[in-house]
Each structure stands twice: as structure tokens, then as C-alpha cells.
Amino acid sequence: MSGVVLVDGGGTNIGSVRHALQRLGVDAPLVTEAARIRAASHVILPGVGAAGPAMRRLRELDLVDTLRGLTQPVLGVCLGMQLLFRASSESELPCLGLIDAMVEKLTPAAGLRIPHMGWNALQRVRDHALLAGIESGEQAYFVHSYAASAGAWTLAACDHGQRFSAIVQKDNFHGMQFHPERSAGVGSRLLKNFLAL
């Protein structure tokens, strides 16, 4: 297997994720070729934007079945995490369907801003190697309007008017709703943990 790759699905945070990996000594190329993705040791699916255009891009690149069939560690970041789920209320297009749950728009509440932007505390739900060295209450940086509820797939949750999944895992697929590349030491540790899987 080759090293870490970033799936070039058109997300605007690809450059910042790549720089965060470079700070860890990892030069992850941007790829769109199925063979290179299948050959990688670790696959990262970044994303910022909307679920519909992101899934259309993955379909245009003929990568949906490739991503669904991966057996190495995979990490979805922000929108990339949401794409791991069955569908998003943001779009009529189905997502990758690797986690059988919906992504829904955050519910507005008095005094709470949507989109959810800024630092918020992670609440550990269950143990996993991805969370090594990360304690409940440590902060990560979020920018999102849609989220997945907490469920059997949740490693860490967060509250912003409602409880939602901040870090998820099912089999070899992992996701972070926040931006690890903008989450200082916590984000760096989480990326290191992912690369060690």
C-alpha cells in the first residue's frame, strides 16, 4: 500500500487539511483516481459545502462504489463525515450510506447561532484508539449547520441546542464533524491517532 491520500471531492478545506498533515510530516496527495485511493494506507475525505454538490462530484468521478468498498482506515472531515451517512436533509441525493442514519439541520434555539461556529467541548461516549489522549471537555472548532444525531456510531458528542455526533466510527470508517486542522493540539492529536490506526 502507498501512504495517505486526500480525496479531491472539491471541498474548500482540502488545502488546510493537507497543511495540517504536512505539519505532522505527512505529504498526502490530492487524488481522484479509484486505483490510487484503493492502494492508499489511509484515506481522508475532506469537505466543506453542501451534501448534494459533494455527492454529485463523487458520482461524476465514479468514486461512490470505490469509497464504499474501502477496507483501510477512512476519515471524513466536516461535510466528509456527513457523507458517510445514509442521507442528508440538505439534499435529495443519497449519501454513501455507510452509517444507517440521517444528517439533519440543526434546530434553532433562543441565543444559539446557526450555523454552529466556534469552539465547543467534546464529550467522550465510548473508548476507541482514535480518542487516545483526548479527554471529555477538550475543545474542537466547528463550522456547520447540519449534524448527525448521537447513536451507536458516536465516539464523541457535542451540544449546541441539541446533542449531536462530533466523532463517529463504524468499522474502518471514521468521521469528525469539526475541523481537526483548525482545532489546535486536539485536532493534531486526533489526526495523529487516525494515522496510527
Lowest mean pLDDT segment, chosen from 15-24, 56-65, 143-152: 15-24
Q: Which of 116, 160, 174, 179 is catalytic?
A: 179
Kindly state the cell numbers that stand for 191.
489526526
pLDDT at 160: 95
pTM > 0.85: yes or no:
yes
In order of start, what are the domains of the chain with their CATH numbers? 2-196 (3.40.50.880)
179 given a catalytic annotation = yes
Q: The C-alpha cell of 181 is what?
A: 486542522
What mean pLDDT is predicted for residues 126-154? Answer: 97
What's the one-letter identity of residue 151?
A: G
Active site residue 78: yes
Give me the residue label for grid cell 454552529: 116
Alpha helices, DSSP H, located in 61-172:
64-68, 79-82
Is 92 in the active site? no
The catalytic residue among 42, 78, 90, 95 is: 78
Per-residue pLDDT, 1: 57
Q: Which three cell numbers stand for residue 70?
A: 474501502
What's the chain's Rg over C-alpha atoms?
A: 15
Q: Which three cell numbers stand for residue 91?
A: 439534499
